[in-house]
Amino acid sequence: MSAAVTGAVPSPFAAARHRVSARRRAVERIVTTLLLVATVLSVALLVTILGYVIQRGLPALDLDFFTQRPKPFGEAGGGVGPALVGTLLLAAVSGAIAIPVGIAAAIFVVEYHSGRFAATVRFAAELIAGLPSIVVGVFVWAFLVRSVIGHYAGLAGAIALAIIMVPIVARTVEEVLRLVPHSLREAALALGAPRWRVVLRVVLPTARAGVVTAAVLALARSAGETAPLLLTTLGNQFFSTDLLQPMAALPLQIYQYAVAPYDDWHTKAWGTSLVLVIVIGLVALALRLAMRDRVR
């Protein structure tokens, strides 16, 4: 091929060049294959887990499963209504605390980077992100459950979840804020905007998709947390929306059903798992739809 390009006189380097390009093609093919295998593996893993949860959980699902409260063993029926309400409420309260705080921390670090203090904030966020969730649970148990509130309460759980969410939101939002082109900040500043308006009206809206992703990630992660809730909200067999009383939650319900020695409850544990997956999926979808770009 290269001989045709260089003309009738064969270049002394043509053979060597040909060998190099054959090698390059082989390497290219190997790398492409490896990437494909990795992609297929990760997607297959997701599909397998989801498929298994659906297969095992679907038999437990009916309307009652969503609306009824759990029944004692031996009684037919019963559902995860209180846990569903509890999880949604906990997500709403913890999200309302953690998402603004996380976004604010990220804005501070990126937009008002005042050297050492910003670095300290980042380091602190990293440390909190590295804390095992049970440690957060123990901490909240010691401070809120044992002293301030005095008993297990939904609010304590929401605060524990918020502590887990803040660094996730902060780190993810920090990354997406850094992706906003500097030229947009300059344009806004040059229009005579005060810095805070630049952040609120230009930087955050530009990074909106990434900020929503951060919120979804954090909510999804916290919705599945079990350990800190065991120590804070405790769980509840009855419907309760009182944040100062023990509250049910889907992960607690899964745990309760799963550790019991009854087959029927095991099926219910799978069903509850499926409900949790559905809830997280729907919340993510709803957030995306609510926050999608208006301008196209």
Binding site for another protein (CB under 8 A): 113, 181, 183-184, 186-194, 197-198, 201-202, 205-206, 208, 293, 295-296
Our CB check for another protein shows the closer of 78 and 210 to be 210
Our CB check for another protein shows the closer of 205 and 224 to be 205
* Closest CB 186 distance from another protein, rounded Å: 7
Q: Answer whether 273's CB lies under 8 Å from 252's CB.
A: no
Residues with Cβ within 8 Å of 177's Cβ and at least 6 positions away in sequence, in order, are 106, 107, 110, 111, 203, 204, 207, 210
Our CB check for another protein shows the closer of 92 and 119 to be 119
* Closest CB 198 distance from another protein, rounded Å: 7
* Closest CB 27 distance from another protein, rounded Å: 37
Report d(CA 212, CA 216) in Å as an integer: 6
Our CB check for another protein shows the closer of 1 and 295 to be 295
- Tell me, rounded to whole angstroms, the distance of Cα 138 from its chain centroid: 22
Our CB check for another protein shows the closer of 116 and 296 to be 296
* Closest CB 106 distance from another protein, rounded Å: 18
* DSSP three-state, residue 149: coil
* Closest CB 101 distance from another protein, rounded Å: 24
What b/e sequence results for 229-260 when a residue is b if at least 16 CB atoms lie within 10 Å of its CB, and e otherwise?
bbbbbbbbbebbeebebbbbbbbbbbbbbeee
* Closest CB 44 distance from another protein, rounded Å: 36
* DSSP three-state, residue 113: coil
Our CB check for another protein shows the closer of 151 and 201 to be 201
Q: Answer whether 50's CB lies under 8 Å from 64's CB.
A: no
